[in-house]
Structure 1
Amino acid sequence: MRPRHKIGLAGLLAISVAAAFFAWLGVFNVAASTGHWSVTNRLLHFAMRASVRVYALSVTVPDLRKTGLLQASAVHFQAGCAYCHGAPGVSPSPAALSMLPPPPGLSNKISEWTDAQLFRIVRHGVRYTGMPAWPAPDRDDEVWGMVAFLRELPSLDGEHYRELVAGPATSEAGEVSGFDADLARCAQCHGADGVGRSEDVPVIAGQSGAYLLASLKAYLEGRRRSGVMQVAVSQTNEDTFEALAQYYAGRPEPAKPVGDTASIARGREIAERGLPRKGVPACLGCHGGSRKNPAYPRIAGQKKLYLETQLRLFAAGRRGGTAYSSIMAKVAATLDDTDIADVTAYFTSAR
């Protein structure tokens, strides 16, 4: 080895030993009360922006107008983000404001980032800042829903934000206690009637109580992945799960909409006979109503956007939960876009 190389290696070793000794002494101040040095702050912020910019290059941005989950994302933002960042009409927690540097208010910061960069930040979080990754990182649809909400955030005032989160006639969960508080929390997305406050939130009115209870437990235990629902159920008293399931099971089903008759007719054929050439069994063999296994969900009258999303999640191996989810994963993987459009059109209109 050349002398200069030996000197260089010795120097690196000496620096490493000195750094380890300095850390061992414990004199470096890690207290959060003083924050980083100014130069450290600038370096970390520069590195964060550069990293997000580079990793976002591989992100394909969908049409955010068709993303869905905007209303549910507002509820999630209130539950998981407003504590630190605040929201229209909502101040950040004093504890968050004592962080150095404090979490930024987002309304005046969103425009600094592209949609792809926001996706990267929401999905993966940012180290050393307290910004966590999305609770279910494989649910890209939910992350894009949050990006769509963040794009709307600067245009919201306090009244419109509160209506997105709680609805015009829904009580805030903090004003009541026990079962009523948990029901109010569910109603923020599902409504007190179980019909759902947006097209991407499922109809749970009249659903099997056994299925609803199994779903709540699956979300709580992480067997069914959803960043929105996993946070929601973690804030709900597990002792009220059965009462909540029975409450929504007892709500009347909504009127069924009518769609494209040709698509509905083909979807009905799939539902009744399946697709033998693809090995797809008849949907109604499992989802045919109350005489079937109560662990199977009733999907007649369900929302089309929700059904399409669930089928695609099953096909991608990203939807779990009950003991029968593996059956749906195999079935969904064989369906093409036309099959999905037709069968969901049928079930949306079915009575």
Structure 2
Amino acid sequence: MRRAVRLTLFGLSAVVTAGIAAFVFGEFYNLTAIRQHPLWVFRAIAVGRDTVVALDARDVEVPADFAPSADPEGVALYRKHCAQCHGAPGVAPAEFALGMMPVPSNLVAAARDRPPREIYWFIRFGLKMSGMPAWEMRMSDADMWSLTALVEALPSLSPADYAALAAEVPDRTDALVSVQSEAAETATDTAIGDPERGRIAMQVHACLQCHMIPGLVGKPDLHVGPSLGEAGRRRYIAGVLRNTPENMVRWIMDPQAVDPLSAMPDLGVPEALARDMTAYLYTISGRLPPGRSGTP
């Protein structure tokens, strides 16, 4: 009896495996961005996404004074960081977004269908494999709620109203200005930070675009910048700075000021997060920063 069950399970596994192989390698599934997902795939993804987001967003605490609101500062934030993909009242998305798959949704629909805590969840955490970025550690909490309030107000915002609000604040330097101020409140007088926070900061600042980083999943054979697994143990940072936590923070915040010939760009990392990244780089290299227990 047990042998029959095992044979049956083995047979089912073989059939499923063969089916998946035929589906993928037989070119039954088109991966190009000019072909939509089949309807059943699209709906399955939507059901799974909405279920998970609804569960996760239950832990989001909506500010007591929250209300849908359209103001110049919120519109300036939205125009700089959201309108390129999602468009705005009377404003088309940027050209690159028109060919994305899936197409970024018009947020009027999101405002009608989702409560504020879910809108905030998407802004803060982003969504894998959709093009939606995570703004955590790159935008202050106040700005994320300001964007949430604007999105919730979009159904009642006319193109003329949007244009008038946008004209009041013609330029927004960057969301990073506010997150730098927020991060500065937690800054200390040492270069020691939180390694776990540093790991997340390295992910949301796209360090994986150029580096292999232990603890983060990226392209396994990436050869742009050096692997950072031994960054904390090297004698010099970028071959020009003595390897100390203070110099590591300096390098992360403004590499071009240290070495104008370096290809590493300034990612706008605030000091507090640079300290966290430094702590993570020292930790994964096995060399804890001075001041932490267990330092060699």
Please give the TM-score of this superposition, normalised by the length of structure 1. Answer: 0.44
| Matched residue count | 190
Q: Which amino acid aligns with 1:15?
A: V
- Correspondence 1:61 to 2:62: yes
2:87 is matched with which residue?
86
Query: What is the rounded CA distance, in whole Å, between the counterparts of 2:106 and 2:23 in structure 1?
Result: 37
1:285 is matched with which residue?
none
Q: Which amino acid aligns with 2:147?
A: M
Task: Report the CA distance between 1:16 and its aligned residue.
Answer: 2.2
1:321 is matched with which residue?
271
Going by fraction, where is helix more abundant, 1 or 2?
1
Task: Report the CA distance between 1:34 and its aligned residue.
Answer: 1.8
- Correspondence 1:46 to 2:52: no
Residues 224-263 of structure 1 aligned to structure 2 (within 5 Å): none
Task: Report the CA distance between 1:30 and its aligned residue.
Answer: 1.1
Q: Please list the CA deviations of residues 114-159 of structure 1 after superposition, one character each: whole Å capped at 9, or x if unmatched.
A: 1111122221222332222225278433322221121222232234
1:119 is matched with which residue?
120
- Is the partner of 2:51 in helix, strand or coil? helix
- Is the partner of 1:107 in helix, strand or coil? helix
Query: What is the rounded CA distance, in whole Å, between the counterparts of 2:274 and 2:94 in structure 1?
Result: 42
Q: CA RMSD in A?
A: 4.1
1:110 is matched with which residue?
111
- Is the partner of 1:34 in helix, strand or coil? coil
Query: What is the rounded CA distance, in whole Å, between the counterparts of 1:324 and 1:85 in structure 2?
Result: 31
Task: Report the CA distance between 1:112 and its aligned residue.
Answer: 0.9
| 1:40–1:202 Cα change, 3 Å | closer
Query: What is the rounded CA distance, in whole Å, between the counterparts of 1:9 and 1:201 in structure 2?
Result: 54
Task: Report the CA distance between 1:74 and its aligned residue.
Answer: 2.2
| Contact preservation (8 Å) 2:33, 2:100 | yes
| Contact preservation (8 Å) 1:67, 1:145 | no
2:166 is matched with which residue?
165
2:75 is matched with which residue?
74
| Greater alpha carbon shift after TM alignment, 21-30 vs 41-50 | 21-30
Structure 2 unaligned spans of 5+: 182-197, 206-268, 277-296
| 1:11–1:65 Cα change, 3 Å | closer
| 1:140–1:185 Cα change, 3 Å | closer
| 1:16–1:70 Cα change, 3 Å | farther
| Contact preservation (8 Å) 1:67, 1:141 | no
| Contact preservation (8 Å) 2:68, 2:152 | no
Q: Which amino acid aligns with 1:54?
A: L
| Contact preservation (8 Å) 1:70, 1:146 | no
| Contact preservation (8 Å) 2:69, 2:153 | no
| 1:84–1:324 Cα change, 3 Å | closer
Query: What is the rounded CA distance, in whole Å, between the counterparts of 2:90 and 2:27 in structure 1?
Result: 43
Query: What is the rounded CA distance, in whole Å, between the counterparts of 1:2 and 1:59 in structure 2?
Result: 51
| 1:21–1:5 Cα change, 3 Å | same
Query: What is the rounded CA distance, in whole Å, between the counterparts of 2:156 and 2:150 in structure 1?
Result: 10
| Contact preservation (8 Å) 2:120, 2:148 | yes
Q: Which amino acid aligns with 1:142?
A: D
**Structure number, greater radius of gyration:** 1
Q: Which amino acid aligns with 1:124?
A: F
Q: Please list the CA deviations of residues 20-58 of structure 1 after superposition, one character each: whole Å capped at 9, or x if unmatched.
A: 354344453112212011222222222222221111122
Query: What is the rounded CA distance, in whole Å, between the counterparts of 1:140 and 1:123 in structure 2?
Result: 8
Query: What is the rounded CA distance, in whole Å, between the counterparts of 1:6 and 1:106 in structure 2?
Result: 51
| Contact preservation (8 Å) 2:77, 2:172 | no
Query: What is the rounded CA distance, in whole Å, between the counterparts of 1:140 and 1:32 in structure 2?
Result: 34
Please give the TM-score of this superposition, normalised by the length of structure 2. Answer: 0.51
1:284 is matched with which residue?
none
1:288 is matched with which residue?
none
Q: Please list the CA deviations of residues 94-130 of structure 1 after superposition, one character each: whole Å capped at 9, or x if unmatched.
A: 4433445532222243021111111222212223322
| 1:108–1:324 Cα change, 3 Å | closer
| 1:66–1:36 Cα change, 3 Å | closer
Query: What is the rounded CA distance, in whole Å, between the counterparts of 2:131 and 2:275 in structure 1?
Result: 34
1:30 is matched with which residue?
31
| Contact preservation (8 Å) 1:119, 1:144 | yes
Q: Which amino acid aligns with 2:116?
A: D
Structure 1 unaligned spans of 5+: 173-183, 190-195, 204-221, 231-318, 327-351
| 1:16–1:75 Cα change, 3 Å | same
